[in-house]
Structure formats: structure tokens, C-alpha cells
Structure 1
Amino acid sequence: RVHAGFMAYRDWSVANPAEFNLCFGEPLPGYAAPEGGSTTEAFQAVFAPLLSALATAHAAGLVVSPELPDDLAPLGIVAEVMLPDSPPGLVTLAFETWSRVHGITALEVNDHLSYLGFDTRPLAEFQVRRMVDHLMGRADTIAP
């Protein structure tokens, strides 16, 4: 589920660069999203499938939640809201996976990988597959 979800996110983003950059690009000067408004709801809706998949994988013993370091204690509040029945450290895995997928997606969307001279979807898919395998403790089964 995590792999399919991230690839769907990547594919939509590459196919819709203007919308991607509207969501994740520079905000309008002086704009601040209202707390609890539609922006917050949309953000939570986007992350809900990832968080659900991680929580399900953790409950099944497929993913190990790291301890939440003291300096990241504020993330515990996020975890209580978005992952109420899971250990707080699981939210750090959500940020880790999101950062990796969003990073390569942003590079693709904004043509920062065009110098490679080929379709970079296989590269993105390889990165997502490695990340999922790493999450599930299978990092040693994939060639570098």
C-alpha cells in the first residue's frame, strides 16, 4: 500500500506540475493557512493513507517504531492526533518516508533531473522500493 500510494503521488505530481507547485511551492506573500480550515483538513487527508498503512504494518509486526527522541517530543502531539493507537515514534517514520518520496518527486516535477536524459520514473520507483524495504527491515536484500 505504501509503495502504490507513493507512486500514485509521484505520477500525479509529474503529470500536474502546476498543481504540485501550487500545493508545495512558495506560498503567496503574507498568506497563512487558517488553523483548522480546509488546508489543514486537506493536509490530514493526504497523509491519512500513509499513516494508516504504517500503523497497520506496525500492528502486524512488519515495521518497528523508533523511540521518539526527547528533542522531538512535540511530535508526540501530532502522533496522538494522527496515530492515536500507535507508538509516537511511528510519526518519525512517516516524516522520513514522506521526505524521501517528496524530495525525488520535487526534483522530477521541477526538471532538476532532466540532465539525466531519460525517463526518471524507474529511478523514483527504485527509490520508493528501497525505502519500503528499509522500513520493513529488508534493506540488506537490495543491491546498492
Structure 2
Amino acid sequence: MSVLKKACIIDDDRLYVSLMSMIVDKYDLVDELVLFENGDQALKFFELVLKNKIEAPQVVLLDLNMPIMNGWELLDVLEDHTAALQEKGIHLLVVSSSINQNEIAKAKKHALVSDFITKPLSKTHLLEIFNKISS
């Protein structure tokens, strides 16, 4: 039995996404893993979540630097729906290669962001995150 029902990765780095997907599959961490390459694709998904058309993910791993719509832009659009998304039990974690302290502080202050994690995200850390959220 999986640790979580649904998780979402929003990241344009195909190698990173592939690695995270393999870890999720190998350790049976989620029943359903939803993947998006940019914030625009993810926004359409969250619009359906907010309309209760699809089940909300329990965890979202969001990269900041992506084409089309980056993570900051997605957070800005979703900010108006913070209460509704939190009510659905979504834990949004920013996962970025940025070591800029201002970006880290800005992300951690955002109402939707549960935590900021610096890439690369290790297997051990991913397992800890999913297990913590499931308990």
C-alpha cells in the first residue's frame, strides 16, 4: 500500500523528474504521480482541483525556474486560493537548485509553501518527506 494517494512534481528538468519518479515507484510512495513541465500546465490542473473535478495531491514538489510560467508566477496566481488549497490538505514544497538566501526566505514566507528544499533531493529526504506528510 502506498504512503500517499497522490503527489505532483512541477519541474522542467526531465532527468530530475525521471529520478524522482523512479524513487516514488520503487518505494511505492504514491498511488498516482502527476507530472508537469511548467507552471502553466500545473495551473490548469489546480483549476480542476479547486473546482473539485479531480482529487488534490497531498504533496506538490515545485521548481522555481521553468519556462513559460515559472514557480514564482504559479505561486502568485495560486495565492488567491491559499485557504482553499490548504483546506484540501496540499503540502507544497519548493524544490530548487537556488542557494540565494533571499529566494529561500521569500519562498518560506509564502503562505502556500510548507518548506524549501535545495536540490538535489536525495532518496532519503524524499522518503522522509512523504512519510512525514502521511502521518
TM (norm. structure 2) is 0.30
Q: Which has the higher contact order (CA 8 A, sep 6+)?
A: 1
Which structure has the larger Rg over C-alpha atoms? 1
Higher helix residue share: 1
